Chain A
Amino acid sequence: MDSLQLGSYTFSSRLILGTGKFSNATVMLEAVRASGAQLVTIALRRFNREQAEDDLFGPLSAIEGITLMPNTSGASTAAEAVRAAHIARELSGSPFIKVEIHPNPQHLMPDPIETFEAARILAKEGFLVMPYITADPVLAKRLEEVGCASVMPLGSAIGSGQGVATAAMIEIIIRESGIPVIVDAGLRSPSEAAHAMEMGCGAVLVNSAVAVAGNPPEMAEAFAEAVSAGRKAFRAGLMQKSGSAIATSPLTTFLGTY
């Protein structure tokens, strides 16, 4: 069985789905079901008494086989992220935490120093830490060394739909890594997810591409198929690239010889 191992957790799906930006909770839940995702991200925010909110936690937890991965979005320092992680664990009961620390809303690039510090503390406390990082092989290795369950380098900026712009760096991270490498952020199309999986990623995390699609559940299913195909291709072993043509048929010129 080809499964994704994160800490002591085993997942058969290699598509992780984000739950932000959907037009409403019903569509989001349909997309989660259609995606077959077993790990789903969720965010913390303040309770607003004027604005009755759909309770996402209840219906999401009710989907069979779903594990929640709260994120620390909104934190701009390691201390804030650690605090958010404690609160999220209290609410969800899940050991997973996506450490996401982006101090600048203009580009949402993760702060490597604060992320490393938060990851180090939370891994020590027993969390399954999934840090969202820039595609930096040195940082990725350092995060593995402090006990993270995976590293999640960005393909491109959050919500940008620019695809795996960091492919060359992600390839180095995968080559060096002893933990799953998960491309998080920037994916726009299922073919990009397939590409990431063909490179040897352990999983991909997709949110915007599904949430803002014309038909989110259908797009979720398309991503699931692409992730599956990409993984299968990686396991099957891709052919080597060649600078020149290599014939697939015999080149004997028998047709002109009689």
Chain B
Amino acid sequence: MITIELNGQQQPLPEGSAVSDLLATIGCDGKSVAVVVNEQIIRPDNRSAHLLHEGDKVELLIFAGGG
């Protein structure tokens, strides 16, 4: 297992997990969600190829109401 930081919180994941695996693990369909790994934006077509590593900082962002 590895541990990543997801939106500021610890998240365990099986070794060799890709971004798409993380999204499936937390029940996020990945639509309308921006994925940022270590400050790099991971586009939807690259999410199953981009592997996560110990200590990676992952941010998942969505749109919400705002002025």
Which A residues contact B (CB, under 8 angstroms)? 18-22, 25, 28, 41-49, 53, 55-58, 68, 70-71, 73, 83, 86-88, 90-92, 158, 185, 205, 207-208
Contacts and interface: CB of A to CB of B under 8 A. Distances in A.
A43 B28 contact: no
A91 B59 contact: no
Contacts of B61: 44-47, 87, 91
A46 B67 contact: no
A208 B7 contact: no
Interface in B50-67: 59-67
A185 to B, nearest CB: 8
B19 to A, nearest CB: 13
A90 B9 CA distance: 24
Interface-centre pick from A18, A87, A158, A208 (highest chain B CB count, 10 A): A87
B32 A83 contact: no
B23 to A, nearest CB: 10
B34 interface: yes
A71 B60 contact: no
B25 to A, nearest CB: 10
B66 A47 contact: no
B41 interface: yes
Contact of B63 (A18, A56, A185, A208): A56
Contacts of A28: 65
A46 B59 contact: yes
Contacts of A92: 63
A221 to B, nearest CB: 19
Contact of B7 (A18, A46, A68, A90): A46
B34 A45 contact: no
Contacts of B33: 47, 91
A86 B41 contact: yes
A205 B43 contact: no
A185 B67 CA distance: 9
B36 interface: yes
Given A44-B66, A73-B66, A91-B32, 5 more contacts: A47-B33, A47-B60, A47-B61, A55-B32, A207-B67
A20 B60 contact: no
Contacts of A53: 62, 64
B21 to A, nearest CB: 15
Given A44-B61, A46-B61, A47-B28, A87 B66 contact: no
Interface-centre pick from A45, A73, A86, A208 (highest chain B CB count, 10 A): A45
Contacts of A18: 65-67
A53 B61 CA distance: 12
Contacts of A68: 63
B43 to A, nearest CB: 7
Contacts of A87: 34, 36, 41, 61
A9 to B, nearest CB: 19
